[in-house]
A = this chain, B = another copy of it.
Amino acid sequence: MASKKVTIHDIARILKIDSSTVSRALNDSPRVKKKTKDKIIAAANELGYQRNQLASSLRKSKTNTIGVIVPRISRYFFSSAIAGIEETAYKLGYNVIICQSLEKVERERELVDTLLAYRVDGLLISVSMETRNYDHLESLKIRKTPHVFFDRHCDIPNNSNVLIDDFQAGYDATQHLISNGYKSIAHFCGPLEMELYKNRFNGYVAALKDNEIPFNKELVIESRLMTEDGVNCIEEILLLPYKVDAVFSANDIAAIGAIKYLKRKGIKIPEDIAFVGFSNEPMSSIIEPALTTINQSGSEIGKKATQLLISIINNDNEEINNETIIVKSQLIERQSSKHVKQKG
Contacts and interface: CB of A to CB of B under 8 A. Distances in A.
A63 B54 contact: yes
Interface residues of A, number: 50
A139 B48 contact: yes
A178 interface: no
Nearest to A121: B2
Contacts of A3: 143-144
A257 to B, nearest CB: 11
Contact of A57 (B54, B74, B76, B139): B54
Nearest to A142: B48
A235 B50 CA distance: 48
A55 B287 CA distance: 51
Interface stretch (A109-117, A192-200, A217-225, A336-344): A109-117
Contacts of A82: 73, 100
A286 B57 contact: no
A79 interface: yes
Most chain B CB inside 10 Å of its own CB: which residue of A100, A114, A142 = A100
A97 B50 CA distance: 19
Interface in A288-330: 288, 316, 318
B118 A54 contact: yes
A23 interface: no
B79 A73 contact: yes
A303 B118 CA distance: 25
Contact of A2 (B100, B114, B143): B143
A99 B1 CA distance: 24
Interface in A81-123: 82-83, 86, 95, 97-100, 102, 113-114, 116-119, 121
Contact of A53 (B50, B53, B95, B118): B118
A1 B318 contact: yes
A238 interface: no
30 contacts: A2-B143, A48-B139, A48-B142, A50-B116, A50-B117, A51-B117, A52-B58, A52-B117, A53-B114, A53-B118, A54-B57, A54-B58, A54-B63, A54-B118, A55-B58, A58-B58, A73-B73, A73-B79, A74-B74, A74-B76, A74-B79, A79-B79, A82-B100, A86-B100, A97-B97, A98-B98, A98-B99, A260-B286, A282-B283, A286-B287
